[in-house]
Amino acid sequence: MNDLVLILAPRGRDAAIAADLLGRHAIAARICTDARDLTEHLDEGAGAVLLTEEALVGGDASQIARWVAGQESWSDIPFVVLANGSRTPRTVAATERLAELGNVVLLERPLHAEAMLGAIGSSLKARARQFEVRDTARLSAAQNRILALAVEAAPLTTTLDAIVREVEALSTSGVIGSILLLDEDGRHLRHGAGPSLPAAYNDAIDGIEAGPAVGSCGTAVYRKGPVFVADIATDPLWADFRDLALAHDLRACWSLPISVDGEILGTFAMYHREPRAPVTDDLTIVDFVVRTAGIVIARARTEHHLRASEARYRQIVEGAEDFAIVSLDPVGTITGWSSGAARLLGYSARDAIGQSADLFFTPEDRAAKVPAREMARAASEGRAINERWHVRKDGRRFWGSGFTMPLAESDGGYVTIFRDRTAEHEAEAALRESEARLRFFGALEERLFGAATADDAMRAAAEMLGQQISASRCAYADVDADNDRFWIRNDFTAPGIATSAGTYSLDLFGPRASAELRQGQTLIVRDVAGELGPDEGRAMFQSIGIEAIVCCPLVKQGHLAAMMAVHQDIPRDWSASEIALIREVVERCWAHVERVGAEARLRESEERLRLAVENAEVGFWDVDVINDRLIWPPQTKAMFGISADVPVSMADFYAGLHPDDREATSAAYLAAADPARRALYDVDYRTIGKEDGVLRWVAAKGRGVFDASGRCLRVAGTALDITARKQAEAALRDLNATLETRVADAIAEREAAHAALRQSQKMEAMGQLTGGVAHDFNNLLTPIVGSLDMLQRKGVGTEREQRLIAGAAQSAERARVLVQRLLAFARRQPLQTVAVDIAQLVAGMGDLVESTTGPQINVVVDAASDLPSAKADPNQLEMALLNLSVNARDAMPNGGTLRISATAESLGANHRSGLSPGEYVRICVADTGSGMDEVTLARAVEPFFSTKGIGKGTGLGLSMAHGLASQLGGGLTIQSRPGMGTNIELWLPVSAARVEEAPDHQRTAASSTHQGVALLVDDEDLVRMSTADMLAELGYAVLEAHSAEEALRMLESDTRIDIVVTDHLMPGMTGTDLARHVQSTRPELPILLVSGYAELEGIDAKIPRLTKPFRKDELSATLTSLLH
DSSP string, 860-879: EEEE-TTPPPEEE-HHHHHH
Bridge partners (DSSP) of residue 405 are: 415
The Cα 13–Cα 82 span in angstroms is 13
The Cα 1062–Cα 1077 span in angstroms is 13
Exposed e or buried b per residue across 200-226, where buried means at least 16 C-beta atoms within 10 angstroms of its C-beta: ebbebbeebebeeebbbbbbbbbeeeb
153-312 placed in CATH 3.30.450.40: yes
Helix axes 35-44, 62-69, angle to 10 degrees: 20
The answer to whether the CB of 525 falls within 8 A of the CB of 531 is yes
In the sheet that holds 1036-1041, the strands lie side by side as: 1036-1041, 1012-1017, 1059-1063, 1087-1091, 1105-1107
pLDDT at 1087: 93
pLDDT at 992: 81
Helix residue ranges per DSSP H, 322-421: 339-345, 349-352, 363-367, 370-381
Q: What is the dihedral of CA 467, 471, 476, 479, to 10 degrees?
A: -170
pLDDT at 842: 86
Q: What is the dihedral of CA 684, 689, 694, 697, to 10 degrees?
A: -10
Q: What is the 3-state secondary structure (H, E, C) of 142-192?
A: HHHHHHHHHHCCCCHHHHHHHHHHHHHHHCCCCCEEEEEEECCCCCEEEEE
pLDDT at 313: 41
The Cα 543–Cα 325 span in angstroms is 58
Q: Which of 544, 481, 478, 556 is nearest to 509 (CA)?
A: 544
CA–CA–CA angle 963, 964, 965 (5° rounding): 95
Residues of the chain with CATH 3.40.50.2300: 5-136, 1001-1123
Neighbours of 661 (CB within 10 A): 16
831-989 placed in CATH 3.30.565.10: yes
Point out the residues of the chain with pLDDT beneath 70: 1, 85-91, 143, 147-153, 288, 306, 308-321, 409-411, 597-598, 600, 602, 605-617, 742, 746, 749, 752-778, 810-811, 813-832, 943-957, 996-1010, 1093-1101, 1124
In degrees and rounded to multiples of 5, residue 49 shows phi and psi of: -125, 135
Residue range 1001-1123 forms a domain whose CATH class is alpha beta
The answer to whether the CB of 671 falls within 8 A of the CB of 659 is no
pLDDT at 540: 93
Strands 523-525, 548-556: pairing kind: antiparallel
CA–CA–CA angle 594, 598, 604 (5° rounding): 145
User: Mind listing the pLDDT tens digit for each residue in 484-508?
Assistant: 999 998 899 999 999 999 999 999 9
394 burial (CB, 10 Å; 0-12 / 13-18 / 19+) is: exposed
Bridge partners (DSSP) of residue 404 are: 384, 416
Residues of the chain with CATH 3.30.450.20: 321-420, 620-732
Q: SS3 of 762, please?
A: helix
Strands 48-52, 79-83: pairing kind: parallel
The answer to whether the CB of 703 falls within 8 A of the CB of 681 is yes
463 burial (CB, 10 Å; 0-12 / 13-18 / 19+) is: middle
The answer to whether the CB of 341 falls within 8 A of the CB of 347 is yes
| CATH domain 5-136 topology | Rossmann fold (3.40.50)
Q: SS3 of 722, please?
A: coil
In degrees and rounded to multiples of 5, residue 547 shows phi and psi of: -110, -15
Q: What is the CATH number of domain 321-420?
A: 3.30.450.20
Q: Which of 418, 420, 422 is nearest to 325 (CA)?
A: 418
CATH superfamily of this structure's domain 456-600: GAF domain (3.30.450.40)
In total, the chain counts a number of residues equal to: 1124
Q: What is the dihedral of CA 945, 951, 952, 954, to 10 degrees?
A: 40
In degrees and rounded to multiples of 5, residue 361 shows phi and psi of: -90, 155
* E strands in 47-103: 48-52, 79-83
620-732 placed in CATH 3.30.70.2190: no
The Cα 538–Cα 509 span in angstroms is 7
Q: SS3 of 502, please?
A: strand
The Cα 54–Cα 98 span in angstroms is 12
* E strands in 344-472: 384-391, 397-406, 414-420
669 burial (CB, 10 Å; 0-12 / 13-18 / 19+) is: buried
User: Within 13 Å of residue 135, how many CA atoms lie on the same side as its CB?
Assistant: 14
First and final C-alpha spacing in the chain: 82
In degrees and rounded to multiples of 5, residue 919 shows phi and psi of: -100, 130
Rg (CA), the chain: 53
Integer angstrom CA distances of residue 1097 from 1, 768, 774, 820: 90, 15, 18, 20
Residues of the chain with CATH 3.30.450.40: 153-312, 456-600
User: Mind listing the pLDDT tens digit for each residue in 734-777?
Assistant: 877 777 776 777 677 677 656 655 655 555 555 555 555 656 66
